[in-house]
Amino acid sequence: MSFYDDNADLRWYVERGIDWARLLPHVELGGLGPAQAEAGGYQSVEDAVQTWTEVLHMAGAFAADEIAPRAALLDRAHARVEDGELVSPPEHDQLFDAIAAMGLHGLCVPREFGGMNAPLVIYMLVAEVFSRADVSVMTHHSFHGGIAMALLMYSALEGSTTFDPDSRQILSTRWSKAIEEIAAGEAWGCMDITEPDAGSDMAALRTKAEQDADGNWLLSGQKIFITSGHGKYHFVIARTEDAKDPDDPFAGLGGLSLFLVKAWEDGPDGRRIRNITLERIEEKLGHHGSATCTLSFDRCPAELVGQRGEGFKLMLLLMNNARIGVGFEAIGLCEAALRMARSYAAGRRSMGRSLDRHELIADWLDEMQTDVCGLRALAVHAAFQEELTQRKRLELRYLVAPGSAEAAALEAEVKALTWASRSATPLLKMLAAEKAVEMARRCLQIHGGAGYTTEYGAERLLRDSLVLPIYEGTTQIQALMATKDALLGLLRDPKAFVRQSARASLDSRTHRDPLYRRVAGLRLAALQAQRHLIQRIAGPRVLSLPQTPLARWRDRLVDDWDPRTDFGPALLHAERLAGLLADAAIAEVLWAQLAKDEGRRPILEGWVERAEPRARDNLGRIKHSGERLLARLAQAPAAEAAK
């Protein structure tokens, strides 16, 4: 059995959905053909896709035959700390030895470093099939290849990578050895951001990095909840400067820098000399195959990544990828919940019929199926856009002449791709994580009393799902990001907004395809919500224009916004607006698929049928609720200041 082969919707993307011919030239920079095939590359697009299909088949079989049967055991057999080192259950180590032996840690890593050079999107699909077996195994797996690719990306962006434009091969990077170790399955890394008093609020981070007299960076502080924090390579975000006042560019997020810290050095006698102290691992509700660590740093040697003050920006680049990864992780769990629920409902009889013939349960199962397909459409779209963004950003730096027309065109393309990826990612992370919880809960409920026992594993799915809306930025933070981007976009280019609204309105009434009219209707609802919120927020500013000098009007209307204080109604309704945006985005991605395959129409029909009442509800609430609460909160700042 393979969790890839038995999933027709997933296979559709590899076989028809993904535009490999567009992506491949940016993955295989040396081109395609007999010479390239001889050197480990591919003869043709079909040749490449066949290889990746085999990889997916293998990963799917491993997930079905090796990971899934051990999921209950991994849930019970917890890791522990002994003599300052983490000891995993042997079953966990065996799985990861097998993943290393299959070469999957180096799946996306370029061949120059011992990897397979597969597209990132293939890595994401592997993440989904692994997650269907056990989300926590997928999580730990992702801190291998994901960190290797981050090392490569950061080195390339800061300019410490050397590239041969003739052979189109990477000659070296600042962290070649680390990347090779990870690709070989000998090491992994992690992302150390959260601190005891700073989670969502990264501006409150206090871990500090200072330079000694020789300019070496030394890092001190504590990080908590670090997934796979027993790894060797740590990306750590730390404060490099105390702000002098709130206007200092180093205040808040601007004072953060990114560092690479090695958790230990290998001593001459083969023993580890630890730089980072592994204090403890958390006792958690679920997700037990993934260790969550508390770490302390006491003047640890650290390498600055990029420039001082770039930490937040660089971390966001890594997080965009990671959030798409969580999207696929959530979809894997949704798929597991759907299949478990469906199989139980088909076998269990109640009141003369199997459960799946009862309308109410059939409705749940139908909605779960529709949601999985819709989420996967958004996830593959986001991954594709993100991959093209990253690859073309590097081509801009290394492959085209600066200042040339080609560079200008590529720059414009990178900008558009960045925007497409950036707008899809928080919607995916938010919706997929929330749906995973909803589906795991429904799966448990469909199992009745048996779901509440450990017999079927439905309760494990629910426990595992609950972390998805928390890590890599909570659901609320994703909703706030999506809302902020949408509204600032409107303020920056109101004409484009008016054009989009007119188009959506026209299409919703007159498009030749009735189904597209409904897709446009969803987009129109999202635009109407944005217009309502902006009118609500900007109204007082417009009224203040007569007292503002004409030369300052633009600043007043476009630039002088503080999203923390000025956006009250938008912050209040952020999850509803993000819900509208996600429903519309998924409908549009599914609509675009019809150009390739009319057979996808029923999926879009199902999505639209489910999304329309949600959109009406969200829009209605945005327009007609919240004033009372906002008025109460407006009186609260004095009380807050007095705390």
Ligand X SMILES: Cc1cc2nc3c(=O)[nH]c(=O)nc-3n(C[C@H](O)[C@H](O)[C@H](O)COP(=O)(O)OP(=O)(O)OC[C@H]3O[C@@H](n4cnc5c(N)ncnc54)[C@H](O)[C@@H]3O)c2cc1C
Task: List interacting residues with ligand X (CB under 6 A).
Answer: 190-194, 199-201, 225-227, 284, 287, 292, 467, 470-471, 474, 476-477, 480
Rounded to the nearest whole angstrom, what is the least distance from the CB of residue 472 to ligand X in the complex?
A: 6
Q: Least distance in Å: CB of 437 to ligand X?
A: 13
User: CA Rg, the chain, in Å?
Assistant: 25
Residue type, 433: A
Dihedral, 129, 133, 135, 136 alpha carbons, nearest 10:
-120
The span from the CA of 278 to the CA of 276, in Å, is 6
Chain position carrying tokens 């980072």: 276
| Cα angle, residue 65 at apex, residues 61 and 68 outer, rounded to 5° | 110
As measured in angstroms, the least distance from the Cβ of 197 to ligand X is: 8
Place of tokens 């952020």: 574
What tokens were used for 300?
């640890």
Beta carbon nearer to ligand X, 105 or 376: 105
* Nearer CB in complex with ligand X: 103/568: 568
Q: Name residue 305's beta-bridge partners.
A: 258
Smaller CB separation from ligand X, 64 or 570:
570
Q: Which helix (H) or strand (E) holds 277?
A: strand 276-281
275: CB partners within 8 A, 6+ apart:
261, 262, 263, 264, 265, 297, 300, 301
Pairing state between β 292-305 and 217-227? antiparallel
Neighbours of 442 (CB within 10 A): 21
Q: How far apart are CA 113 and CA 147, in angstroms?
A: 14
* Minimum distance from residue 36 beta carbon to ligand X (Å): 37
- Smallest gap, in angstroms, from Cβ of residue 193 to ligand X? 3
Min dist. Cβ of residue 618 to ligand X (A): 17
Tokens matching residue 473: 């930025």
- By beta-carbon proximity to ligand X, the closer residue of 110 and 146 is 146
Q: Which is nearer to ligand X, 150 or 190 (CB)?
A: 190
Least separation in angstroms between residue 421's CB and ligand X is 21
Angle at alpha carbon of residue 388, lines to 385 and 389, rounded to 5°: 80
CB of 198 to ligand X, least distance (A): 7
**Dist CA 630 CA 465 (whole Å):** 32
Which 3 state secondary structure label does DSSP give 279? strand
* Angle made by CA atoms 204, 558, 200, in degrees to the nearest 5: 20
CA dist., res. 252 & res. 564, Å (int): 13
User: Residue 168 carries which DSSP code?
Assistant: T
- Closer by beta carbon to ligand X, 88 or else 418: 88
Give the residue closest to ligand X by C-beta: 199
Nearer residue to ligand X within complex by CB, 36 or 476:
476
CB 533 within 8 A of CB 622: yes
d(CA 567, CA 564) in angstroms, rounded, equals: 7
- Interstrand relation of 162-164 and 169-172 (parallel, antiparallel or unpaired): antiparallel
Alpha helices (runs of H) in 16-89, residue ranges in sequence order: 20-27, 34-38, 45-62, 71-76
| Bridge partners, 236 (sequence order) | 192, 259
Nearer residue to ligand X within complex by CB, 405 or 636: 636
Distances (CA, A) of 165 to 171, 393, 394: 10, 15, 12
Nearest-approach distance from CB 192 to ligand X, in angstroms: 6
Residues in the chain: 643
Select 18 or 71, whichever has its Cβ closest to ligand X. 71
State the nearest-atom distance from the C-beta of 601 to ligand X, in Å. 37
CA–CA distance, 344 with 400 (Å, rounded to integer)? 57
For ligand X, the closer of residues 214 and 640 by Cβ is 640
Minimum CB separation from ligand X for residue 195, in Å? 8
Bridge partners (DSSP) of residue 476 are: none
Q: Helix or strand or coil: residue 7?
A: coil
Interhelix angle 311-347/458-465, rounded to 10 degrees, is 160
Distance of closest approach, residue 256 Cβ to ligand X, in angstroms: 13
- Sign of the C-alpha dihedral, residues 444, 448, 451, 453? positive
Tokens 């503002």 correspond to what residue?
548
For the stretch 365-374, what's the b/e string if a residue is b when 16 or more beta carbons lie within 10 angstroms of its beta carbon? bebbbbbbbb
